[in-house]
Amino acid sequence: MIKFFRHIRQNLLAEGKTRKYFKYAIGEIILVVIGILIALQINNWNTTKITQQESQDFTSRLLKEVKYNIQITQDEIGREKNQISSSNNILKMFNTERSKLKSQSLDSLLYIVIGKNRIDLKLSTLNEGLNTGKIALIASDSLRDLLYGLQTEVDELQYNEGVSAEDIDSHLTPFLYEHLNWRKMDSKSSPWKEQSGETGFPEHNSLEALNYMLFENLIDNRFFNSREQLDDYQNLKSIFELLEKMIKNQ
């Protein structure tokens, strides 16, 4: 095609038709420019299409991740509520006549209270979006802002989980090692009770722990720590539910 245009220009020059030559040259330039613009437009369309497809793929995977996190957060909320109820029931024991209490009831409640709750969130897609810039492909400003701020919420929650776990490991568990008979508890509820056997201190009564103000303080602290963790989990669940709604409305 280029040789064809060049041949025409050469003929015009050879025939001395300078004015026609310049008109033709200008027209040829215009055609070339139009061709370049069309090519750029097609390239832009292709790039936009690829970008949109990448964004749709990312948000689709992100939605699945968010749905999973909603479910496991809800599960943890249930466990946290159970811990709050159990620690509250132990606190009530301090104000109840000992003859009306059973040591096995205290043992069962403590088994729940000493659990260290941690949510194993799936955040691989979110981290991918943060590390590769895919979150920037999302059209919604409010959705992008929520995603950018999610990691901060998760970091704060995990920090509070660590504080709660440290309180159990450093304070409550050492007290229980000294004042409760773990083997006696295992002989009642452990799946390996036949192997562990009966305690050598059958006379020990777990209710004696209720005579210590330190124990009351420890349980009271567990109650309030669990309340704070419940608030954290409920707040995180609300964020995930909002994310789910916004992604679906994309």
Cα→Cα distances 91→8, 25, 99, 155, 169, Å: 101, 95, 16, 31, 20
Q: Which domain holds residue 67?
A: 52-248
Judge whether 11 lies within some domain. no
Q: Write out the two tokens for 107.
A: 């043992």
Residue 66 lies in a domain: yes
What distances in angstroms separate CA 164 from CA 88, 120, 158, 178, 223, one per listed residue? 17, 16, 10, 21, 11
| Number of C-beta neighbours around residue 180 at 10 A | 20
pLDDT computed for residue 51 by the predictor: 61
Q: Is the residue at 46 inside a domain? A: no
Q: Which residue type sits at 66?
A: V
- For CA atoms 92, 96, 100, 101, give the dihedral sign: positive
In a domain, residue 127? The reply is yes
Helices 18-93, 213-248: axis angle to 10 degrees equals 150
**Residue 24, in any domain of the structure:** no
Inter-CA distances, 242 with 23, 67, 70, 235, Å:
63, 11, 10, 11
Two structure tokens written together for 57: 């793929």
Instruction: Count the domains in the chain.
Output: 1
pLDDT of residue 193: 76
Helical ranges in 168-212 per DSSP H: 173-179, 182-189, 193-196
3-state helix, strand and coil shares in percent for the chain, rounded to the nearest 5: 85, 0, 15
What's the rounded Cα separation, in Å, for the pair 119 and 73?
A: 7
pLDDT of residue 5: 47
- Mean pLDDT of residues grouped by 10 in the chain (250 residues)? 50 54 59 69 63 74 95 96 97 94 91 91 92 84 92 92 94 94 79 82 90 97 95 96 91
Kindly state whether residue 157 falls inside one of the protein's structural domains: yes
Q: How far apart are the first and last CA of the chain?
A: 47
Predicted confidence at residue 4, as pLDDT, reads: 47
Q: Is residue 64 part of a domain?
A: yes
Residue 23: CB atoms within 10 Å: 12
Residue 200: Cβ-neighbour burial (10 angstroms; 0-12, 13-18, 19+) = exposed
What pLDDT was estimated at residue 2? 46
Looking at the domain assignment, is residue 30 inside a domain?
A: no
Residue with tokens 């773990």: 182
